[in-house]
């Protein structure tokens, strides 16, 4: 996937935090009560989320296209990602939706996790999204992040076949997963 499709606009003046291991993070600013509560929440379960057999920090499990007027459309991101391009979803024009992503964090804290995508119709990029999802500590259980509510375009000219290139990245510029998927925008589900 071309890098320019996924240029991340950072907030002016924001600098990503320096990488530190979990032990160092736990020792920092021990006398700051508020910071200690935040670290305790962020690092709760960190010891049980260590995986020496799998060095990945983020394991993306599923992307869910969620809308209030239809059942969720689920993309399983644990298998062969090349098959997602071949299986097209039908989405109703004008519907309100949000993207939910299920993932596991292991081995270390991940700061500035983002979902970024580029949407194409007939080979032309029609939309680009960049959603900051937050920072997450390692936990043995699945965590979920959601984008804000959006609205699908509507009308005869908007209907058709779309291709989406998606990425899950962090403040360090590390790509944790990149995948492509397709949908058909129609008058009804």
Q: What are the domain boundaries of the chain?
A: 18-186
| Range with the poorest average pLDDT among 40-44, 92-96, 101-105, 133-137 | 40-44
- The pLDDT of residue 54: 82
Average pLDDT estimate for 145-152: 97
Q: How confident is the model at residue 165 (pLDDT cuts 50, 70, 90)?
A: very high
| Range with the poorest average pLDDT among 1-5, 61-65, 80-84 | 1-5
- Please tell me the distance from the alpha carbon of residue 76 to that of residue 25, in angstroms, as a whole number: 33
pLDDT at 3 over 70: no
- The pLDDT of residue 127: 95
pLDDT at 15 over 90: no
Short-list 122, 112, 121, 120, CA closest to 168: 112
| Range with the poorest average pLDDT among 31-35, 151-155, 161-165 | 31-35
pLDDT at 53 over 60: yes
* pTM of the predicted structure, to 2 decimals: 0.79
Average pLDDT estimate for 127-139: 92
Short-list 85, 94, 98, CA closest to 183: 85
Short-list 54, 51, 34, 10, CA closest to 140: 51
Out of 3.40.720.10, 3.40.50.300, 2.70.50.30, 1.10.3720.10, the CATH code matching 18-186 is 2.70.50.30
- The pLDDT of residue 7: 63
Q: What is the mean pLDDT of the chain?
A: 86
Short-list 64, 43, 38, 27, CA closest to 140: 43
Short-list 65, 184, 187, CA closest to 122: 184
What is the distance in angstroms between the CA of the first residue and the CA of the last residue of the chain?
Answer: 30
């Amino acid at each position: 996937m071309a890098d320019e499709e996924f240029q991340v606009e950072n907030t002016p003046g924001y600098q990503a935090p320096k990488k530190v291991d979990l032990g160092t993070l736990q020792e920092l600013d021990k006398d700051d009560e508020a910071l200690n509560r935040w670290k305790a929440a962020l690092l709760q379960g960190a010891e049980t989320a260590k995986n020496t057999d799998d060095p990945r920090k983020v394991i993306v499990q599923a992307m869910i296209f969620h809308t209030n007027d239809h059942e969720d459309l689920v993309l399983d991101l644990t298998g062969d990602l090349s098959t997602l391009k071949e299986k097209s979803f039908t989405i109703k024009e004008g519907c309100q939706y949000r993207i939910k992503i299920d993932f596991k964090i292991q081995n270390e804290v991940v700061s500035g996790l983002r979902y970024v995508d580029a949407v194409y119709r007939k080979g032309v990029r029609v939309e680009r999204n960049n959603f900051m999802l937050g920072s997450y500590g390692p936990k043995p259980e699945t965590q979920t992040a959601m984008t804000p509510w959006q609205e699908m375009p509507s009308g005869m000219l908007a209907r058709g076949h779309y291709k989406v290139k998606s990425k899950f990245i962090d403040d360090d510029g590390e790509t944790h997963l990149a995948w492509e998927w397709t949908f058909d925008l129609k008058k009804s589900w």
